Amino acid sequence: MADAQFSLELLLPDLPDAQDACVSRLRMLVAAHEGIALAHTTTDGRSMCVHFDPTRVALSDVERLVKAAGADLARQYGHLSIPLEGALEEDAGRGIEEFLLKQAGVIDVSASVSARRVRVEFDRRVIDADRIVRAIHEAGYRVSPRAPTGLAPWVEWYRRNRELVWSLCAALLLAIAWSGQRFGGWSPTASIPLYLAAYAFGAWDLLRHTTARVRRGVFTFDIDLLMLLAALGAAVLGEWAEGAFLLTLFAFAHALEHYAMDRARGAIRALSELAPARARVRRNASDIEVPIEQVQIGEIVLVRPGERIAVDGVVAAGTSAVNQAPVTGERR
């Protein structure tokens, strides 16, 4: 029995990870052919190992078979990792997943609100990437541009902080209307246009999220709807200031929550960048550099003075000064 290894990155170029369903499909397609006993992924998840009987099938035939199977799967199945932008409610992930799974040709969807990213597996024969992006827009969510937009810096800043800007606008309009009515002698009727403007700035995202769910055929009595009903009730009772204050406070809280989440994502991303991409290991009495994904359990990893520690382990021998930033999170 002989074996051969094939890079999954070359066989399936847009594969997100080794746990994707296309890897299982590839294994089953290859293993179903005569002369092949077993096909499995390697421990590092980067390659597929094929065990075959050389008396029944030649290595060149195995290579041709594996490459053809990978090409067929790559032509039929597509994978997208789509970044989202703007304000996202807590159940946005579930809403996006439910809406996209209703689209013909979409096989699997995984949406993360904290990461602001949607992963989609789809059948290229039925649906394409542009249609999936349009479906996300139809669900009431915005997709981040994949390439630099060329806009002015202040426009880019506004795109990232629109929710905070709008909540501050609502607060400013509310303060002007309330101050004018209390200290400037304005009549209640004269302040209503400013209160309405504060309503618009404070309720825009809440209203957009609610209407998006209704368009998807989902009606949930959640906190967003409760805030809208409370503000509407205050307006009906003539308590415009109270309603505007409620929406402004809620919008500001949402903006701060998303700002904190963005900061946390940035901190995690910066921490992950501290770890080196390659490690120096000792194999067969020689020292070689390999990607950290290929370091095997139990191997000896060499860390020179001043270098960063690439993987977790126990100090086997030696004394030195090393960069512990990947462990402590300290940036230098």
Give pLDDT tens digits for 241-270: 999 999 999 888 888 887 887 787 777 777
- Indicate left, alpha or beta for 140 from its phi (over 0: left) and psi (-120 to 50: alpha): left
Per-residue confidence band for 327, with pLDDT thresholds at 50, 70 and 90: low
**120 within 8 A of 71, measured Cβ to Cβ:** no
- CATH architecture of the domain formed by 78-143: 2-Layer Sandwich (3.30)
CA-to-CA dists, residue 16 to 23, 84, 201, 257, angstroms: 10, 18, 39, 29
Percent of the chain with pLDDT over 70: 91
CB atoms within 10 A of CB 210: 20
Q: Which residue has tokens 């075959």?
A: 52
Tokens of 194: 């400013």
Domain boundaries along the sequence of the chain: 2-76, 78-143, 153-270, 278-328
pLDDT at 207: 82
Winning range, highest mean pLDDT, from 11-15, 95-99, 198-202, 270-274: 198-202
Greater confidence, 274 or 232?
232
Q: What single letter denotes the amino acid at residue 66?
A: V
Q: What is the pTM of this model?
A: 0.55
CA distance linking residue 248 with residue 200, whole number of Å: 10
| Lowest-confidence region among 85-89, 184-188, 206-210 | 85-89
- The β-bridge relationship of strands 77-85 and 117-123 is antiparallel
Asked whether the predicted pLDDT for residue 283 surpasses 70, the reply is: yes
CA quadruple 93, 198, 231, 207: dihedral sign: negative
CA distance linking residue 64 with residue 79, whole number of Å: 24
Asked whether the predicted pLDDT for residue 182 surpasses 90, the reply is: no
Asked whether the predicted pLDDT for residue 150 surpasses 70, the reply is: no
Cβ-count burial of 170 within 10 angstroms (0-12 exposed, 13-18 middle, 19+ buried)? buried
Whether the domain at 2-76 and the domain at 78-143 fall into the same CATH topology: yes
pLDDT at 331: 59
Per-residue confidence band for 332, with pLDDT thresholds at 50, 70 and 90: low
pLDDT at 233: 93
CA distance linking residue 182 with residue 331, whole number of Å: 52
pLDDT at 151: 55
Half-sphere exposure of 249 (CA within 13 A, CB side): 9
When the pLDDT of each residue in the chain is averaged and rounded to a whole number, the result is 82
The arithmetic mean of pLDDT across residues 41-68, rounded, is 85
Per-residue confidence band for 148, with pLDDT thresholds at 50, 70 and 90: very low
CA distance linking residue 285 with residue 301, whole number of Å: 12
Cβ-count burial of 61 within 10 angstroms (0-12 exposed, 13-18 middle, 19+ buried)? middle
pLDDT at 199: 93
| Helices and strands, number each (H, E), in the chain | 10, 10
pLDDT at 218: 66
Per-residue confidence band for 40, with pLDDT thresholds at 50, 70 and 90: confident
**262 within 8 A of 248, measured Cβ to Cβ:** no
- CATH architecture of the domain formed by 2-76: 2-Layer Sandwich (3.30)
CA distance linking residue 194 with residue 169, whole number of Å: 11
Per-residue confidence band for 200, with pLDDT thresholds at 50, 70 and 90: very high
Largest Cα separation within the chain, whole Å, is 99
